[in-house]
A and B are shown apart, each in its own frame.
Chain A
Amino acid sequence: MLKALHARKPAQLLIGLLLGIAFGFLLQRGGATRYGVIIGQLMLEDFTVVKIMLSAVVVGTLGVHLMKSIGLAELHVKPGSVGTSLIGGLIFGAGFATLGYCPGTIAGAVGQGSMDALLGGVVGILIGSGVLAALYPRLSRGVMAVGDFGDVTLPRLFKVNEWVVVVPMVALIVLLLWWLESAGL
């Protein structure tokens, strides 16, 4: 791994900025920073968002696992639980549909001039994050701890080599995307 580069703080801030610029450019050009595109996805009318996400997962998972196997990358798996991932995910989903942007795409929406994102959504996200931070000590010992499964990955869960999961998952996603296209979605 490029440990020396990872330890250089100013260089890292610059890399973060540059990767962000490319990420924002792609999200905006893909239409994912548009309220209508996100709502269209959640109404199951327009599958742009799912197509972007799943093709990123296909390309990303192959490259990241390849880099991992030659020692150029390590995984950063987030721990989770039923109380954290499922309940938090459902609350997020309610926000996703009500706001029509997500934390990444709202930054892109601000860049393209969406004032509902800048003056409404961003303010709401900052307040919501702050309230969660205030409630965190109680939540993390209560509902968030329910059904803990830790930082496990699918390969570790099934006790198999990671490629045994990655390759079929990629195949499954490609099939799903092909099906979406042939269904005209």
Chain B
Amino acid sequence: MDFWTLERWSPYLVGAGIGVLSWLSFLLSNKPLGCSTAFAKTSGMIERLFRGSGVDQKEYYRKFPIQIDWQWMLVIGVVIGAFFSAALSGSLRLEWVPGRFESAFGYAPVLRWVVAVIGGFLMGFGSRWADGCTSGHGISGTLQMAVSSWVAAISFFVGGIAVAMLIFRVIAG
């Protein structure tokens, strides 16, 4: 059995590896790992296509300038890295409805699409409201012992567990 083609690695190995990446991002780039700001910037880029450069003057984008930056490249890298991982382990495949969703709601690609858009909306809205996501607050912020990040990370899971129970126990139950 070859290590590089195993479908799954131990979560502890993966977590330790991400911990080492956090050292490298602080050391080499003076930045914590994070992902959600890149989505806000992409959203700004798309808005700028329709409404022109006035978008840059919005208060939010003066705080988080619309540009292709380090974190934006990081998120592109995540897509590429996951592609290589999935290709190497033979788990690369087009999937429209994840198995867990299918077992609760049947094979319903349109329903899954609608639910994913709604979930994505809440996630984009919530991550920018909280100023961070599972990486920026959940890993990078908590490892810095930031109070904001511990509060946010615990709230992610409290909200997530409550809504997951609602979806899979009450609605699908």
Name A112's contact: one of B46, B92, B142 (CB within 8 Å). B92
A120 vs B111: C-alpha distance when bound (angstroms):
10
Q: Is the CB of B15 within 8 A of A51?
A: yes
Report chain B residues within 8 Å CB of A55.
11-12, 14-16, 18-19
Q: Is the CB of A57 within 8 A of B19?
A: yes
Q: Interface SS of chain B: helix, strand, loop or mixed?
A: helix
User: Would you give the shortest CB distance from A9 to chain B, in whole angstroms?
Assistant: 9
Report chain B residues within 8 Å CB of A19.
21, 24-25, 28-29, 33, 74, 77
User: Would you give the shortest CB distance from B122 to chain A, in whole angstroms?
Assistant: 3
Q: Can you list, as one digit per residue, whether each of B139-173 has a CB less than 8 Å from chain A (1) or not (0)?
A: 11111111111111111111111111111100000
Q: Is the CB of B124 within 8 A of A113?
A: no
CB neighbors of B among A111-165 (8 A): 111-117, 119-134, 136-137, 139-140, 144, 149, 151-155, 157, 162, 165
Interface size on A, residues (CB 8 A): 127
Flag whether A87 is at the interface (Cβ < 8 A). yes
> Which residue of chain A has the shortest Cβ distance to B31 in the bound complex?
A76
Name B159's contact: one of A34, A54, A73, A91 (CB within 8 Å). A91
Flag whether A22 is at the interface (Cβ < 8 A). yes
CB neighbors of A among B85-123 (8 A): 85-86, 89, 91-101, 109, 112-123
With A58-B19, A92-B130 as known contacts, state yes or no: A103 contacts B135, CB within 8 Å.
yes
A152 vs B149: C-alpha distance when bound (angstroms):
10
CB neighbors of A among B60-87 (8 A): 60-61, 68-86
User: Would you give the shortest CB distance from B96 to chain A, in whole angstroms?
Assistant: 5
Q: Is the CB of B144 within 8 A of A23?
A: no
With A39-B100, A55-B19 as known contacts, state yes or no: A112 contacts B82, CB within 8 Å.
yes
A72 vs B26: C-alpha distance when bound (angstroms):
8
Q: Is the CB of A90 within 8 A of B164?
A: no
A157 vs B74: C-alpha distance when bound (angstroms):
32
Q: Is the CB of A84 within 8 A of B129?
A: yes
Known: A23-B33, A75-B146. 15 other contacts (CB 8 A): A15-B29, A19-B29, A24-B83, A31-B11, A36-B99, A52-B11, A72-B27, A93-B160, A96-B134, A99-B120, A103-B39, A111-B79, A116-B109, A117-B116, A154-B146
Interface set of B (CB-CB < 8 Å, partner A): 6, 8-9, 11-12, 14-33, 35-36, 38-40, 42-44, 46-47, 58-61, 68-86, 89, 91-101, 109, 112-168
Interface set of A (CB-CB < 8 Å, partner B): 1-2, 5-6, 12-36, 39-40, 42-44, 48, 51-61, 63-64, 67, 72-82, 84-117, 119-134, 136-137, 139-140, 144, 149, 151-155, 157, 162, 165-166, 169, 177
